Amino acid sequence: MLTRQSFVAFAALTLILLGTVVAVTFATAAEEKKADFLFVQSAKSMSFDPATNKLTLKDVSPVTVFFTDRPERIAGNMNTTRFIPFWSDGKDSFKSDPPNADISVVEGKTLKQTVVELQDPVLEGDDLTYTVRVLKGDMPAKATEVAVFIDIIGRPLTPLSYAGVARRTYRRAFLY
């Protein structure tokens, strides 16, 4: 009888330990590897109203490009309509920590850049409007062929889920 009780106790203890090992293994696997994604939006033209701090990208591309740097080197595109929820979905959304962006336009042979903080996107038809806070540079009232380089967001390597936000501390710009 004692042998049977010992065997049952040993089996129960083994199952408990095995369950703990499996739980720890799944918990470790659940910790997703994150990458720093950057985004690019382009538009045929833009306008800026300094009274309301509204930047409107007119005839914005329906595609927002995303990419990472080393070591992952992931690149792709997503519908701009799927980019807008980054301001409201997830505990570390852009709403709680708005991204910085570089508004880049070419006037003649001169590259003009303005660094802004993007907030409250509204997509209506082909126009995308942001409330912005100018951080560096002068925002032109109007411009054509606009590119918006949006700061990084740390996200799991699955490109359409949400995660914590991190920011880049410097920028480089080149006109070729």
Q: What is the pLDDT of residues 90-99, one digit of tens each?
A: 666 777 778 8
C-alpha of 125 from chain center = 22
**pLDDT for the residue numbered 97:** 79
Q: Could you tell me the two tokens for 39?
A: 């985004």
Domain ranges in the chain? 1-31, 34-156
HSE at residue 150, side-chain half, CA atoms within 13 A, is: 27
Which pTM does this prediction carry? 0.69
What residue ranges of the chain have pLDDT lower than 70? 1-33, 89-92, 153-176
Angle, CA 100 vertex, CA 98 and CA 106 arms, to 5°: 140
pLDDT given for residue 36 in this prediction: 79
Helix, strand, coil shares of the chain as percentages rounded to 5? 20, 45, 30
Residue of 35, 14, 48 whose CA lies nearest to 156: 35
Query: H helices of 31-151, where?
Result: 80-83
Q: What is the pLDDT of residue 11?
A: 52
Which phi and psi (to 5°) does residue 169 adopt? Answer: -95, -5
